[in-house]
Structure 1
């Protein structure tokens, strides 16, 4: 037989005996060499079906350059190599991890998410220095008991697997601070969970849980608990013992009443929408003085107690799709309420057009229904808007009792001096100059800088924000919707208490850079503009940002890094021309969008 094939190519008589592993994508020696110096090796998204032995033995075997170089400069001193402490193997095709993993005892971070792993080797328990383990997006059905040996583990990501039970081994990870078990098939949670006394974030969403163990109340350090999309019919009373809790998510379960949380005095967000809650009593509200978001949509509430006025810090209240026939006037006494959602309720006595005008108009209506007590015998009746002529420019009753300066829907091009003069010595906290024809912010508003915290200039013709508005350093809320704004001044970052800003229906072509520099922001509503891009690396710095509305802009792409903005709980992207994420994913809600984006982050 000829040793030559047709076409003149030389045949290799050993071709049929080659090790199949030779066909796998190779790990460049340059990466291995660099890893010996840095202690980090990133092999993500390389199509690996198995990890080359040279990776596991990186700190054991003598490198190839030791056999070829007879002289070494400072950069080639292979004997001074650094132990591998970070290994990234995500987004490959790995079906197993070998026991050789024990050869990397110095590992602090191991990331193997987005592979085909069906189990983990017991040898993983020998990685005693491991602090972060990410095995999410695999096919795990069980976990080895040896996980209990990882006593320094602080972060464990197990989401998007096929786990049906939580092993007791997890309860022995005393240093664990973050545990994500979402999107599995868990039917119950072991009481050993109570041993995780340092846990601050626990995600159990999208499982099949019918109950939570009473021991969950022992998680005294827990700040965030997410049980969204389970089958919970009740919540153990011990949950009230989690006095560090700040965010509680119980959406899409089968709850019939709100849990009582007398000791959760730091709770800021309570999400219990899509349940079967039919009763809301004073006992459910009286202790939640720090609550800023209460989400009760898609339940069966027929009424609200007057005690809802005790939630002085409440900023967002979602009551959509309940059975409410009326509203208590005490809602008008919530000084910080910015968003009140009532769609889908059979409300009587409130005109539909009033509901469509927004939160501030509705609160104004409720304030008008508050009964003013009759004067005592011999006392001069107080002058109110009811006793003033019908064309009076200012509601002096609102100034005196509600600390509100109201001059809206006047179609005025200027705010008359008489409006400011009517204030007297009253400490105004709310200013509403919406629905006029203003082309600029009145200069005299500076006179209120020591007290005002909420201003509304919506539905005007303002083209720019003056520097004197930036002097109102107690502002927590600004409403500038429906104006002609194209930019915001850098001086706006002086508003160090600002929590909410509404910029919808303006003419922004770029996301205002100054917003990235206001770390107190919790809500940014900037829909219906012409914004073409956002900077997720800057948004991540806004650690308190929970609501971001970017609907109806010109975003051609959504950067995957936006998925790392873990504080965001409401992200609205509809009406933009991007292709990914697909509409089906966007329709699933914020959690699904952020999870999708995180899975697309290149590593």
Structure 2
């Protein structure tokens, strides 16, 4: 029993007294017995107002089962394992005693969601600790002894009442994940720059007016969250953080967009709800890897032509600004999501904006002046005057690669529509706003070309196998139909990234969707979905947007909080009671954190 040696030096009676019977019903003996074997003890949600002595002394006192002389070889109590993981979250603890030192082997200590106002100085003796979660308590200060935890990799202090960080904090040089969000910090110590192993830093929802220039010393930092502070400027040194991938600066007081010449890996930049007035080429030219740019709720008046420099951009949010027109060149980007609501837009008709991202981009592309037409004018004239094709937009086929036969209120697509394609390359089809009860069989003729299919606002009650043969499909819009299931063959759409199934009759999230690893966006609002499988969703590593608004979800499984890749999770309009509306309003990150904190261990 070598693990008792260090503890026995502090307590000479250790190992010679029988286990105390002071645990009561709150900690069953069977649970303690299992913990001695596994090294893990979970006392979450047991209404504890203090930690029973038998927990602190679990590896010190002789266990109850030692009194049983008839124990089998499988119950050799002297071969017990040191406690390495202790979870006492979701209780009513107001303090911890110095008996904490009796568990020197702990690597994980989770005491979130209690009523702690302080931590004992004995915490310094948990030198093996790698993860400490003290979030959702009432801490006003951290003990300096916490800086002695040199092996700490994850420290979670969110939702407390901290006003400052103790001196010597930089000694936690192995720290990789630090969350101090939702506290009362007014400054970040310059010494933070010494946290050279830090990968994720969350400073959101504090009272920070500036960031220290030294923050650029965090050479491995990938994720920096400064949402909901009082920042008026960003230090230029932040632009030198070469590892930075995600930067959140929403809900601050920024008036100028920072430049990022060294942030070559930056994938997401969130600047919504600030006071930014101008977007220029100098702000965009270095964002070579940017996938998400959020500029909603600012004071922008225009978007520069140089927006086309952002060749990787997938999501652009410009809603609630003062933008009256967009550069036509924006149509050249391969955006999956473009938000323009709340702008005094004069150059794009409302009916086009209501049709969504792809229609807006197509409209902008159609306005680009063609310097060198790929087809001769005479060829276009001839095609346009053929009587059999008089209702087909051949110009769109040739110049925009779109087969458009939308808003005709027809029950089937005429053969002349498909005949008009001829030898032209088609990348998009739009058969929306018709009366189609089935997908036209000739759609299969386009299987080697089409990446974007819009069949919304029809009367489809099933999906035919012809559609499942369009293996180059990346975007599929089936909203506003009569669908209640998808065929297994949809799994063959191996490049599908976005599927819109809103306003249909689904009662569950179709199983086949879980098996499409390329999916990034699933839109399922306004159905009758009553359940989702969080474990299967977690395997969808590319899924970033899940819209389940206005469905029949009676409960949200806490395990959904493990889907950490989700950037947008929409749950409004469901009959569940928790999470409460106040949590939903805080956004996706807050929802996921809330759910994670309630996962039974």
TM-score by length of 2: 0.89
Q: How does 1:508-587 map to 2 (within 5 A)?
A: 508-587=506-585
Structure 2 CA distance for partners of 1:163 and 1:544, relative to 1, 3 Å: farther
Aligned length: 579
CA contact 1:385–1:397 (8 Å) conserved in 2:
no
Q: Equivalent residue for 1:6?
A: none
1:45 and 2:41 matched = no
CA contact 1:224–1:248 (8 Å) conserved in 2:
yes
Q: 2 CA distance for matches of 1:267 and 1:489?
A: 38
CA contact 2:252–2:273 (8 Å) conserved in 1:
yes
Q: How far does residue 551 in structure 1 lie from its aligned partner after superposition?
A: 1.4
Deviates more, 1:554-563 or 1:274-283: 554-563
Deviates more, 1:182-191 or 1:233-242: 233-242
Structure 2 CA distance for partners of 1:429 and 1:213, relative to 1, 3 Å: farther
Q: How far does residue 532 in structure 1 lie from its aligned partner after superposition?
A: 1.3
Q: Equivalent residue for 1:30?
A: 30
Q: Equivalent residue for 2:9?
A: none
Q: Equivalent residue for 1:344?
A: 342
CA contact 1:184–1:207 (8 Å) conserved in 2:
yes
CA shift digits 1:13-58 (9 cap, x unpaired): xxxxxxxx96976422211111111111111112222212221221
Q: Equivalent residue for 1:8?
A: none
Q: How far does residue 516 in structure 1 lie from its aligned partner after superposition?
A: 2.3
Q: How far does residue 393 in structure 1 lie from its aligned partner after superposition?
A: 4.3
1:262 and 2:257 matched = no
Q: 2 CA distance for matches of 1:451 and 1:197?
A: 48
Q: Equivalent residue for 1:108?
A: 107
Q: Equivalent residue for 2:499?
A: 501
Q: 2 CA distance for matches of 1:451 and 1:26?
A: 65
CA shift digits 1:268-309 (9 cap, x unpaired): 322211000111112222333433322211100000011212
Structure 2 CA distance for partners of 1:365 and 1:560, relative to 1, 3 Å: same
CA shift digits 1:170-222 (9 cap, x unpaired): 32322222111110111111222223333222211111111122232233333
Q: How far does residue 387 in structure 1 lie from its aligned partner after superposition?
A: 8.5
TM-score by length of 1: 0.89
Q: How far does residue 161 in structure 1 lie from its aligned partner after superposition?
A: 0.6
Q: How does 1:82-481 map to 2 (within 5 A)?
A: 82-335=81-334, 337-373=335-371, 380-381=376-377, 383-384=379-380, 388-389=384-385, 392-481=390-479
- SS of 1:467's equivalent in the other structure is coil
- SS of 2:192's equivalent in the other structure is helix
Q: 2 CA distance for matches of 1:445 and 1:498?
A: 17
- SS of 2:522's equivalent in the other structure is strand
Ranges in structure 1 where 5+ consecutive residues have no aligned partner: 1-20
Q: How far does residue 487 in structure 1 lie from its aligned partner after superposition?
A: 0.9
Structure 2 CA distance for partners of 1:123 and 1:550, relative to 1, 3 Å: same
CA contact 2:226–2:248 (8 Å) conserved in 1:
yes
CA contact 1:40–1:84 (8 Å) conserved in 2:
yes
Structure 2 CA distance for partners of 1:436 and 1:291, relative to 1, 3 Å: farther
Structure 2 CA distance for partners of 1:446 and 1:171, relative to 1, 3 Å: farther
1:488 and 2:494 matched = no
CA shift digits 1:50-73 (9 cap, x unpaired): 21222122112221222x222331
Q: Equivalent residue for 1:7?
A: none
Deviates more, 1:93-102 or 1:260-269: 260-269
Correspondence for 1:589 among 579, 584, 587? 587
Deviates more, 1:565-574 or 1:97-106: 565-574
Structure 2 CA distance for partners of 1:574 and 1:384, relative to 1, 3 Å: farther
Q: 1 CA distance for matches of 2:380 and 2:273?
A: 43
Q: 2 CA distance for matches of 1:193 and 1:164?
A: 16
CA contact 2:86–2:106 (8 Å) conserved in 1:
yes
Q: 1 CA distance for matches of 2:175 and 2:439?
A: 51
